[in-house]
Structure 1
């Protein structure tokens, strides 16, 4: 009869639990759990305005691209930046953090098992277990009448005896949440996608670092060229001043002529200190990019005239988007946010947890390992959120807002990638024109300078004309150096805009490395 009553009572409890869960889920239907994603479509153009409408293979990246400029020193500097740059090192550390976070978040997919032991000694006072003191017969055997009254009083008062108990336990505890609604799996997917994004971010940092190294090196070469030009212009101005001084001694020139040419000479000398400053400061910047102190860096440099311009084909816009690590990073971040929204949505539904315990228990230590000391327990918990002050609703709306932000950022990255490439192609074309025009201008102004110097010796030209021709020649030479610098830097900008050698193959390799890191060294201890 008792067993039948217990079974009936168990059925009523299960029916009540099912009814409560059904009512809770029905109540959730009134909540707004519909999720309308923002529009993510960005249709790339069929071709770039400044590019050829044809497909192209991915460009090479890293030191291999630097080698195309024909400078061995530049190739060595880019290789050193890859190994010693601190921004890249920090990005690699962020990968380790993301991998660790993926494991932490994914731990909910596995059962939790722990070994526990305890030793406990307790004392329960007699005043808790009894409402009357214990009677002591020995107190009645006392001598004297007065002592008898005292003994009787003591017996009436009595004493309370405390109870001391030992408890020893050794066992294994386990719990596991059944991921019926995908809450834990969605959280794991979101974290693992962030681990992928961290690797794409490292690639972005690497490309930006190599770009900065190449631009800084070209800046060093340009300043060295300008210093040589300045030194040559000083020699020309000194030679002309010497000729004017000779004419002055013969009375064929005036102090005004001498003063004007002396001013031209001083102006050329004044251009040297700022160039020296720029050279040293650029080397300091380059040293930081290489992860070392400025005094330890040795850069020989050279001239921009010795470099070769690499051939770069942009390909199609759709290809460029697949070769940009920043676009892949934004896409992975967006996908992670989507899983976060799904996780927040699943939090509205019931959670079922299985619990189990198996071990040994005894009040005497010597009996702890006996077979009769075995104790076990198994059960389950079902929890359904009913009202939490709208915390779940707020978290769900928060994750939706974050997804919309990530979606806007993703679209912005796509537009930025297309704009970067278009701008770089324009720069390549226009700086090439500037170099060509600059070479022609320097050649023409050199002819004019040689002619005016010959006329100076003949005494058939005035100093104002001479000064104008000299200043024009000096300026054209400086402008040509700046045009060459911009021309080579445009190649670097195009290299960065095209993804710096990144490709879908690189993407797959990075994802594979993330998966390997997630699966590697799995065990109860490091």
Structure 2
């Protein structure tokens, strides 16, 4: 078949091409430093952060001890269509990495054919069979490897983006769910008040017809009743819209989704520990996304700089060609070819330099974006910490105000029954009491939402990591 020296030559060239992996053009990636405070203003015991988004987060919503919420949030990663879109984008990015990795190696194709040719004197067949490489570019300067780095970092950024959109959808659902549950309690409170006011109107109507009560008092009781009904109706459409939003977040049409009302409010607010490790902030997917975009932009500089250097491509083939099919696979019918080619730009009037400058500017922009993302993350945690702490104090104050208003309404009602005051005073204190109780429930909703914001600002959980050493 083939002589040993020709086979050795071909193998040597192939091995040489695969072994030419010298230094890659362009700068190696080093994560830029970020100026961060050693501790949070609103919390003690924090240290500086670095991206570490691959740490396990776990189902953060289990902190709220609500089985209905657990079931809903577990559907987000499976059924939410925005999440499905980014999951498909991530799979596409992974395929691009595989394609870029394959460019490091030659593609080998096989062929077999029959050609019938003729002249005025003769006509005959030509049979061929063999294998060939198609213009394999040898990665002398590391351009292909830098391109692979770029695709790998982009795929990791896509993975972080998927995690970020999933966390965002879960956060939106949790906030909507808690607001809906508080609306259930507020609607139930209005319902109880309407029933009480209906009884008052009936009593007042009987007294008015008996001549023992004024028309003004009856009108005041009717006003309080109807205004309470109107306020209750206003909450019902808000609840319906929250229910629709939850349906969409779980990938379901609103018409086929419903959450049974839960009049008794049973919310559990998880309390963050006094000292939290900085690794919690490191798990934020938006920080990981910005950092991976930086790495991708850095690799793109090397790809652009590689245009300064010539490309070396290699094509090779080996096979058989004969006019007689029976003699095709024989030593005299063998054919082979091996052809390296060197190509490069001799003059481009600064086009390559402009592309390098574009890549460097894009990298600088990604560095600024990364640093801004980290700063925004610190600000979000600070905001969530101070909001949560302030709302907890405000809730305690509002609880006392609500209790005092209920006591005032009870006392004035007893005074009215004893004939000591007019119903106008009763209506005023009852309306105040109802308003204070509604404000208390609204604060509870705000507190739940603030706790979700803090967990999300910390990257999805605050458990599972040990506190830093003193």
TM-score interval for Structure 1 and Structure 2 normalised by the shorter chain: 0.7 to 0.9
| Match in the other structure for 1:198 | 158
CA distance in 1, matches of 2:459, 2:275: 12
CA contact (8 A) 2:37 2:48 kept: no
1:351 equivalent to 2:311? Answer yes
SS of residue matched to 2:137 = strand
Deviation at 1:440, TM superposition (A): 0.9
- 1:117 and 2:112 correspond: yes
Contact 2:27 2:299 survives alignment (8 Å): no
Residues 47 and 278, structure 2, Cα contact 8 Å, conserved in 1: no
In the TM superposition, residue 72 of structure 1 has moved relative to its aligned partner by 1.6
Shift in Å, 1:269: 0.7
Q: Does 1:96 align with 2:55?
A: no
Tell me if the contact between 1:362 and 1:368 (Cα under 8 Å) persists in the aligned partners: yes
Q: For 1:172, what is the secondary structure of its paired residue?
A: strand
Structure 2 contact 28–298 (Cα < 8 Å) conserved? no
Q: What residue number does 2:239 align with?
A: 279
2:152 is the alignment partner of 1:226: no
Post-superposition offset of 1:492:
0.5
Equivalent-residue separation in structure 2 for 1:434 and 1:310 (angstroms): 17
Larger of the two Rg values belongs to structure: 1
Residue matched to 1:452: 412
Give the stretch that moved more between structures: 68-77 or 471-480: 68-77
Change (3 A) 1:467 1:84: same
Structure 2 residue matching 1:109: 3-state secondary structure: coil
1:315 deviates by 5.0
Aligned to 2:446, which of 462, 486, 491? Answer: 486
Equivalent residue in structure 2 for 1:334, among 294, 299, 304: 294
CA distance in 1, matches of 2:79, 2:28: 46
**CA 34–298 in structure 1, closer or farther in 2 if over 3 Å, else same:** closer
| Partner of residue 35, structure 2 | 43
CA spacing shift, 1:223–1:460, aligned 2, 3 Å: same
Contact 1:87 1:205 in 2 (8 A): yes
Q: Which residue of 1 aligns with 2:20?
A: none
> Aligned pair in 2 of structure 1 residues 308, 35: CA closer, same or farther (>3 Å)?
closer
Question: Do the aligned partners of 2:38 and 2:48 also contact (CA within 8 Å) in 1?
Answer: no
- The question of whether the paired residues in 2 share the 8 Å contact of 1:240 and 1:453 is answered with no
The answer on whether the counterparts of 2:310 and 2:345 sit within 8 Å (CA) in structure 1 is yes
Quote the Cα distance in structure 1 between the aligned partners of 2:435 and 2:251: 36
Deviation at 1:42, TM superposition (A): 2.1
For 1:54 and 1:350, locate their aligned partners in 2 and report how far apart those are by CA, in whole Å: 52
Structure 1 window deviating more from structure 2 (319-328 vs 184-193): it is: 319-328
Report the counterpart of residue 367 of structure 1 in structure 2: 327
SS of the aligned residue for 2:75 comes to helix
Among residues 44, 47, 53, which one is paired with 1:52 in the alignment?
A: 44
Name the structure 1 match of 2:74: 79
Note the C-alpha offset of 1:168: 3.0
1:407-454 deviations in whole A, cap 9, x for unaligned?
222112111111111111011011112211221111011011111111
For residues 44-443 of structure 1, what are the structure 2 equivalents within 5 Å?
44-54=36-46, 61=57, 63=59, 65-122=60-117, 161=120, 166-174=125-133, 175-302=135-262, 305-313=265-273, 318-388=278-348, 390-443=350-403
Are 2:459 and 1:499 aligned? yes
Work out the CA distance in 2 between the residues paired with 1:186 and 1:250: 95
Q: Secondary structure at the match of 2:65?
A: coil
Q: 1:284 to 1:98 in 2, by over 3 A?
A: same
**Does the Cα contact within 8 Å between 1:215 and 1:489 map onto a contact in 2?**
yes
* Aligned-residue offset at 1:298: 4.0
What SS is found at the alignment partner of 2:83?
Answer: helix
Q: 1:82 to 1:36 in 2, by over 3 A?
A: closer
1:169 & 1:265 partners in 2: Cα distance? Answer: 97
Distance 1:192 1:60, change over 3 A: closer
Relative to structure 1, the CA distance from residue 374 to residue 306 in structure 2 (aligned partners, 3 Å threshold; closer, same or farther) is same
* Compared CA separation, residues 314 and 81, structure 1 to 2 (3 A): farther
Q: Which runs of 5+ in 2 are unaligned?
A: 1-24, 466-470
Mapped partners of 1:194, 1:383: distance in 2: 29
Structure 1 residues 361 and 484: alpha-carbon distance in aligned structure 2, compared to 1, 3 A threshold = same
Contact 1:326 1:413 in 2 (8 A): yes
Report SS of the residue matched to 2:308: coil
Give 5+ residue unaligned stretches, structure 1.
1-32, 125-160, 506-526
User: Does the 8 Å contact 2:26/2:299 carry over to 1?
Assistant: no
CA contact (8 A) 2:147 2:303 kept: yes
Give distance in 1, aligned partners of 2:101 and 2:121: 50
Which shows bigger deviation, 165-174 or 451-460?
Answer: 165-174
Moved more, 235-244 or 375-384: 235-244
C-alpha contact (below 8 Å) 1:317/1:418 kept by paired residues = no
Number of matched pairs: 436
* Displacement after TM superposition at 1:386 (Å): 0.8
1:460-471 equivalences under 5 Å are 460-471=420-431
